[in-house]
Chains A and B, each alone.
Chain A
Amino acid sequence: MWFVRFLTSSIGKKLIMATSGLLLFLFLCTHVAGNATIFMSSKVFQGYANELHSHPLIVLTFSLGLLAVFLVHIVVGLYLFYQNRAVSNSRYAVCTRVVKNSFASETMPYTGLFLLAFLVVHIFGFTFSPKTVLISVTVKQLLSNFFYALFYILAFAALFIHLSHGFWSMLQTFGVNHPRYNILIARLTIIIPLFFFLVFAGVAFYFMTGLGASY
């Protein structure tokens, strides 16, 4: 049974993390494009939202699929975290990290859990918001609250940190490691998460500061 062998092996679980991470990353690409319409005007944004929700079957299928991907990513991630904790750093009296900038890789489970908390707030705030209010109005209402917007910005900072290790790590796990491309990959591992941060957090900043008061 190749599937059992795959699931029970260390490398198989690693590949599941990378695959679910890739799917989440692709989801973020579509999400960031949708959010960017906010900067055009509330009309464009509302138009995008209406268009999306005029296909309820597509929305439902993608939502359920996304939920499954998140569950896999979180469950396998936490399983690996607890398994690895059994052999953690504390085994030495003096522990020195030789690799520079290891902050992101050391904090993967914590930035991940913070993202989970954000997701709960985010889904209850927007996905399950009252259907009588236009979504373009809800976005402005919620994000005009200073602390709500600040929480969003912090969550996107956590996403930046998570992906500043995760993007490279995903490619390494898939076996993409070649001297010809490694510098490019290292650059993309900063540029892509930074792009997500600027657009996602930019929306929160836009309403928080009142810049988008008349959007």
Chain B
Amino acid sequence: MSSINLTLKIWRQPNSDALGAFETYLLDGIHTDMSFLEMLDVLNEKLTKEGRDPVAFDHDCREGICGMCGAVVNGVAHGPEKEVTLCQLHMRHFQSGDILVIEPFRSRAYPIKKDLLVDRSALDRIIQAGGYVSVNTGGTPDGNSLPIPSQQAELAMDAAACIGCGACVASCPNGAAMLFTSAKISQLALLPQGQVERKTRALAMVAQMDEEGFGNCTNARECEAVCPKGISIRNIARMNKEFLRAVLAEG
């Protein structure tokens, strides 16, 4: 098992109101089979032993499905590898002697709680604004009683792959949350179950997105390039249509 030595420059900020600054740490003997978060664990053990404050960062599943982890590594959200979350980024992609600048996901709508830990509840509020889906209750429906063309199902599944990590916002030059919101609008708009509230949902989610202080999309495509789940900006194109249709119909 090979190992590498790294220099880390990490954003440290005690709380939301404090001024933050970068701190530099030297970390030797990092196994290349470790994940990025395991590398941060090693750093934190070292800091704890030295009686210093460990670096706060979000994480949960560590297998790339929950959307909790994330930081900007050398200017790229979730680091340099395509379509992986930070927890699934492995240290074999780095070389000994690398200097890694690690910053929190930044957005006007993401207050920093501590170090790399940010409050992404603005994204939750966009989902909440979408409201409920009306379904008929009663007995369990028969299989295939609600036929969905496979293409449609695939597109809905592609949109539903969004884990809500918020890297799209962090990487957008305008801090827009359009990729996230469009994925959430698309996954329901594409399915029969989502038709009842289709228009009100699109209007409410877009309104909430604007209210949270996210920026305006200028089609820079950075979001799609860093998305760990490969969500396509085709969803944004779909959202624009959904919004226009809903505005014209609902007023």
Contact present for A93 and B101 (CB under 8 Å): yes
Interface string of A10-21 (1 = CB under 8 A from B): 111111000000
* A94-B101, A98-B222 given; A11·B173 CB < 8 A: no
**How many CB-defined contacts (below 8 Å) exist between A and B?**
126
Interface residues of B in 24-52 (CB under 8 A from A): none
A10 with B247, Cβ < 8 A, contacts A83-B216, A99-B222 known: no
Q: Is A2 an interface residue (CB 8 A)?
A: yes
Contact A168 B219 (CB under 8 A): yes
The CA of A8 and the CA of B206, in the complex, are separated in Å by 11
Q: Which of B22, B76, B173, B233 contacts A93 (CB 8 A)?
A: B22
Q: Which residues of chain A (159-215) have a CB below 8 Å from chain B?
A: 165, 168-169, 172-179
Complex Cα–Cα for A97 and B10 (A): 20
Interface locus among A44-52, A102-110, A124-132, A144-152: A102-110
| B240 pairs with A94, CB closer than 8 A | no
Q: Are A10 and B103 in contact (CB under 8 A)?
A: no
Q: Assess whether B222 is in contact with A169, with CB atoms less than 8 Å apart.
A: no
**B-side interface mostly:** mixed
Do the beta carbons of A98 and B237 come within 8 Å of each other?
A: no
- Per the bound structure, the CA–CA distance linking A83 and B76 in Å amounts to 23
Of B57-65, B118-126, B190-198, B207-215, the stretch lying at the interface with chain A is B207-215
A40 within 8 A of B: no
Which of chain B's residues have a CB closer than 8 A to the CB of A175?
237-238, 240-241, 244
List A contacts of B243 (CB < 8 A). 9, 11-12
Query: Contact at B215–A83, with CB atoms within 8 Å?
Result: yes
Determine how close the nearest CB of chain A comes to the CB of B216; give it in whole angstroms.
5
Residue contact B76 to A98, C-beta cutoff 8 Å: yes
* Chain B 3-26 residues near chain A, CB threshold 8 A: 9, 11, 22
Mask for B167-195, Cβ within 8 A of A = 1, else 0? Answer: 00001011110100000000000000000
State whether B209 touches A94 (Cβ < 8 A).
Answer: no
13 A-B residue pairs with Cβ-Cβ distance under 8 Å, sorted by A, are A2-B248, A2-B251, A9-B210, A12-B247, A14-B217, A88-B173, A92-B106, A93-B22, A94-B101, A96-B75, A96-B76, A98-B222, A177-B233
B residues with a Cβ closer than 8 A to A are 9, 11, 22, 72, 74-76, 101, 103, 106-108, 171, 173-176, 178, 203, 206-207, 209-210, 214-222, 225-226, 232-234, 236-241, 243-244, 247-248, 250-251
Beyond A2-B248, A84-B216, A94-B103, 16 additional contacts (C-beta under 8 Å) are A2-B251, A5-B251, A9-B247, A11-B206, A12-B247, A14-B216, A87-B174, A91-B106, A91-B175, A99-B220, A175-B237, A175-B238, A175-B241, A177-B232, A177-B236, A177-B237
